[in-house]
Structure 1
Amino acid sequence: MQISNFSIKQLTVIASVMMAVTFVLFYLTFRYFWTYDTAVELAIDRQNEEVRRVKTLIHLQKNDLAKSISDYAAWDEVVDFIEGNNDDLLVDSINEHSFSALQINGVFIFDADVSLMWGRMYDYIYKQELSYDEIRYKFGALLAESLRSRTDRITPFVRFLVLNEQPHLLATSRVCNSDGIDCDKGYMMILKPVGETFSRTLQQATGLQVHIKTKRDDDTILDHAQDNISIIEKNDYRNDETVFLEIHHSVKLPPFITWGELSAVLAFAVFMFAFNLSVVHIMVRPIKRARRALDQLMSGESSQLTQQDTFISYEMRDFVYRVNEVISQLESKQQELEWIAHHDALTKVGNRRSLQQHWQTLVEKQPKHTSLLLIDIDYFKPFNDHYGHVEGDNVLQQVATALKEASTESSKFVARFGGEEFCVVLSNDSPINNRQEAEWLRAAVETLKIRHHYSPIAAHLTASIGVADCGLQPLGDLQDLFLVADRALYEAKDAGRNQVVIHLSER
């Protein structure tokens, strides 16, 4: 059979079938050798990122609880209670409202000999008393880390604990004076449930379904070799694995090919076949019309070729114009969404996501000198309580603007870290004068002259700054640097606030 014996339409059918079959085979081959492995690796990376997000939130929850017990343990009223001079503490400061505000269900106060002065387990949701018989004779073991801790500064410890068959966070600390030193007054312990409420908090913050289980809930929890599920194991105060967080990933490991995808590929192949036939039909139709016109001309009849190119071109131009208009609108919306995703809606400075991206950029560039500054507005809660949240939001906006516009000799990135805390990243190829840069930022807040009659240190709004100086070290994990800056910030607060404390990051 010779090709010359086929018509254009027949040749088009054969070519269309070959093209469709080739497309399907090429797609399956390409997916098998390239896209599938890439998709699996990308899914695993995203699942690991989801696990890191959950771990970060757990770390933040533990830090919040550590901060809460540090605030109580460095309170003269607690010392007075242990010494028998302040019975109003239980009425004014450690009451049902305190349990609800801190989302805790247990508080215990001990004297220096680890004798229980006062303890209470209370369900703030159902407003009922709970039993703590399960740990009544384990106080020594629960306080072991605090018993071995230093007495010249406050050192909180946070561990997981299974109590009454429910997972909890256990925070312990020595009781100190209000300066956070002389920590030999007694001991304090706080319990926070990490059940359904904690799971909902994780789900709202990460968008992931997280189940918190204990070893008693599922003795086979360690056999978790399941796709799309990760397990985070947490040790209790005895270093036993008793609490497990089961993360159901939103990003699923892709199958090699789904029936829906295969159907779509076959449907596209059929579409290509039909499309090719249609294109050939459109291309051949003018030829047929021209042939008829020539036949009519040869027979002596008058004829005129129909010019359709003008009409087709107009429709295509109109189609392209409308498509470009839609794309322009989509790009505009995309830019707006990208801005929202990388900025804090209230203060218009960067958010945690943009901070992480900026840090990754610095890690890739490795500038010679980098510093991270944590800035906390002094006594912002009393400001909010007395002037109102609307005025508090205005203050956050003014402070963010002042930080952005403050003088600097380095590249500066400003982000809102959360609440009244801001984070500033400085980078430079020349040495950074951290003291000068931080003082400029602190002075920028103070220069705003925002009245604050409820601050015990000044008549106007001030800020404390903790600085983590990387020196000449290669940049590493941002979380480690946060811990250094956070410790410096706490020292600035303990030293009276409205000042700068600098720590050198050591790796």
Structure 2
Amino acid sequence: MRIHSLRSQIIVGVAIVIAMFVAVQMTIRAFVIYPQLKSLSEKHDKYELLRVASEIHQEIRALENLVYDNAVWDESYRALETKDVAWFEKTYFSAASYSTLGIHGWFFFDSNKNLVAGEHFSATYPLDDISRQIVQSGLLDEIHHTEDSIVHTLFELIDGKPAALIASHILPSDEQGESNGTAIIVQQINQAFIDKITPNIEGDIQFHSTDSLSQDAITNSILFGALINKKLDLLEFESSLNRLYVRFESPTKTSLFAISIQRPKGPDKHIIMDGSLIGGIVVSVLSLIVYYGFINRKLITPVYDLLQLVQRAQTEQDFSVRSELEGSNEVYQLGKRLNNLLALIQAQQSAVSEKNKILQNLSRTDALTGLSNRRYFDEWMASLSSNANTPSIAVSLLIIDIDYFKLFNDHYGHAKGDEALTLVATAIKQSLHESTDHAFRYGGEEFVVVLQDTDSEEAVKVAENIRQHIENKHYEHNTSPLSDYITISIGVATKQVNMLLDVQDIFKLADQALYTAKARGRNRVAFQSDSETI
């Protein structure tokens, strides 16, 4: 066949078009569609890893709060100072206490790293060996060299098993003065501990000892510290693994254990890549041989429509978009499967969003009183101070402190103390307008109330109303030198109209006013100007 014939030229032209089309299709799939779908799949893997890390972190934070509450306490400080071992044994070392708290051991060291009192429930090693393992972990050195935190956590092998060591300086209740030692909680990490995180979803998160992990699982695992710090931009995931792994290391970079979660169903880059490529090539060759316009209408245009659909979904993060292609060949089947895939991603995105909302709410709420916590107070005040409307309104701040609450706790116990805190929180909420006022538990027995669009005169009235409301509850407090019932002292400060809101200044003024209220006998309200005469 001569090359100059029309047939030959057509055949050569068709061959060139087919070769170019196949090359273009392979390039598009290799460098556009594949990275986009892979990015979508990895993004959802990252969401799941963050969820697992967040749930573990919440459990660790709860233990940090537990050790802090028991370490920053006058009684613990005194008992360690006097080496009162009997007091530690009576207060902490009971099987019922371990069962209730869900921990495995308490250890109390003096400032010279000497064990004063300790107990490890169901230990196989002697107590001296366990205390030596804790000292060798470096936790005592690390917490004493960390000036910006009272509580510190690390993971290590204790009693031959992976464990979280949560330590806190032992200080007086007011956190003033030097620490005279360290309190440490030992929490074994095993499947039972993991099951507490998701009690309603059996097998959602699984525990793995290091020797049970394959090399692929270790290689493709993500360090817990990286997840907590959200260093995920450069993460790569091995698609052959059916589970996502989070690995925990000791301070010496030794792998201790891992936890895993089932990889969520998402875009499968291999099936989409292979099926799309083979179907595209077959349909392309047959269609171009019959007629070039046919392939342009039936294949090229639909493929680019799907590409734009995927690109739009990724760029706008809108997974509600759907392909409107109709037909029965491979391209239209790809459109249908892509619609199913987008629907799946949309459902997963909604589920992740809902879980994130729940986690955010938990992180902003005080579990005991139901009020917003100190962390949300900082966010709220930062947002309020940056609001363009804030300078045009008066803003008042109330700092509320329960009178002689330490005496109440020592006499009635922590359970009654929690009940009193809840009573005060409820009374505060009942005295406020939800539309303009917001109450927070700032810490311990201290509460903060923010009153928007409220001048100093009205703020003092609100404060006095809260004080009377709580006093009229007649909640018994026989150890108070002031009254037979629970009472409160309140400091009030106000940012006037046409002034900028300085959070530190208004808080300092309210705190000084609270000091004034206490100095004048407690169970009273003091305004910021009152403190200037003290």
Q: Is the radius of gyration larger for structure 1 or structure 2? A: 1
- Larger helix proportion of the pair: 2
TM-score by length of structure 2 reads: 0.47
TM-score by length of structure 1 reads: 0.49
